[in-house]
């Protein structure tokens, strides 16, 4: 069973902070939410609310613009009403090193239709006020570098993005982006590989904002028939070095796998290729219905 932290009374949190004590991550999030320092639909705040209710988060992933932009916008609404707690939205990229064949193919189709970052942000701008789930933008670093960190972050924040995942950003080069996201109330979620040393796991967890993204397998994203039992060991190890929420992704494609990962102690289950595949292999209307049914099955599995 996943272990959830019981939050302290508000005055105890305040007293601890004023006396210089270290305040656990979920308690700190609650304090800042209540006093208006952290948006209530921000990533960390969402996890704090889920922990209070003893729930595990479901985070689906979509590739923006596949099969088309209108379907992506509707898919965000569908996932939100079907139980998604947060939603990852991928920016199509020509060289997606972390992505497996399903997401690579979706990105290629979107790029062939001319989908660009501004189109993706138009979708976020259109939808974010209609849905409860915070949107986390998944992008490789090149678009950030090309536009400049400050310009890029100002643009995505104005559109309504709440979090950011940059899979090709190494820890050693993350400080400037981490500082810039913190200044804007955005959250940069860092990834921990299954091959990371304990020391590196600790360093990544310390700097990650919102939650820690634990990659369940070595290799790229994709649909797999089983989740390796090593994930249980990895989660136990991460629990020794951080009290931040931990989301597990890469390779989860079935409700039974989601249920198992939650039982091993994950705070969130991240599902990508299995979502993207459902939109790709049917008409948009059929794909949206399949997406909604699948999302509800996953949410039921971890509830």
**Three-class secondary structure assignment of 198-241:** HHHHHHHHHHCCCCEEEECCCCCCCCCCCCCCHHHHHHHHHHCC
Q: What is the C-alpha to C-alpha distance for residues 137 and 87, in angstroms, rounded to an integer?
A: 8
- DSSP alpha helices (H): ranges in the chain? 10-18, 25-34, 43-52, 69-81, 101-112, 117-127, 141-147, 149-159, 175-184, 198-207, 230-239, 255-263, 273-280, 284-302
**Residues forming a β-bridge with 136:** 88, 163
- Please tell me the total number of residues recorded for the chain in this structure: 303
Q: Which of 27, 55, 66, 88 is catalytic?
A: 88
88 belongs to the catalytic site: yes
Cβ-proximal residues to 166 (8 Å cutoff; 6+ apart), any chain: 139, 140, 141, 144, 177, 188
99 belongs to the catalytic site: yes
Q: Listing from the earlier edge strand, what are the strands of the sheet with 191-192?
A: 187-189, 163-165, 135-138, 87-90, 57-63, 268-271, 246-249, 212-215, 191-192
Query: Look-up: residue for tokens 């992506």?
Result: 72
Query: Look-up: residue for tokens 């915070």?
Result: 134
SS3 275: helix
Cβ-proximal residues to 222 (8 Å cutoff; 6+ apart), any chain: 100, 101, 102, 250, 251, 273
Q: Which of 27, 85, 99, 187 is catalytic?
A: 99
Catalytic residues: 88, 99
């Amino acid at each position: 069973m996943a272990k959830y932290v019981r939050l302290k009374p508000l005055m105890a949190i305040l007293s601890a902070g004023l006396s210089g004590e270290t305040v656990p991550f979920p308690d700190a999030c609650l304090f800042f939410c209540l006093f208006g320092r952290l948006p209530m639909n921000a990533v960390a705040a969402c996890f704090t609310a889920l922990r209070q209710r003893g729930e595990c988060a479901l985070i689906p992933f979509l590739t923006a613009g596949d099969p088309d932009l209108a379907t992506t916008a509707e898919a965000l609404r569908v996932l939100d009403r079907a139980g998604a707690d947060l939603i990852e939205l991928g920016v199509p990229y020509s060289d997606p090193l972390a992505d497996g064949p399903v997401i690579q193919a979706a990105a290629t189709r979107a790029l062939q239709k001319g989908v660009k970052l501004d189109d993706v942000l138009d979708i976020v701008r259109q939808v974010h006020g209609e849905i409860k789930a915070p949107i986390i933008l998944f992008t490789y670093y090149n678009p950030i570098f090309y536009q400049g960190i400050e310009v890029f972050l100002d643009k995505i924040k104005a559109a309504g993005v709440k979090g950011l995942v940059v899979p090709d950003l190494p820890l050693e080069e993350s400080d400037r982006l981490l500082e810039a996201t913190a200044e804007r109330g955005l959250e940069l979620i860092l990834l921990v590989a299954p091959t990371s040393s304990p020391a590196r796991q600790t360093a990544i967890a310390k700097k990650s904002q919102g939650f820690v993204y634990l990659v369940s397998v070595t290799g790229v994203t994709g649909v797999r028939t089983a989740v390796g039992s090593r994930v249980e060991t990895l989660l136990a190890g991460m629990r020794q070095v951080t009290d931040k929420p931990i989301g597990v992704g890469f390779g989860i494609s079935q409700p039974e796998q989601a249920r198992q990962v939650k039982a091993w102690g994950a705070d969130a289950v991240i599902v990508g290729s299995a979502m993207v595949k459902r939109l790709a292999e049917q008409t948009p209307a059929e794909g949206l219905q399949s997406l909604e049914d699948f999302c509800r099955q996953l949410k039921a599995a971890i509830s």
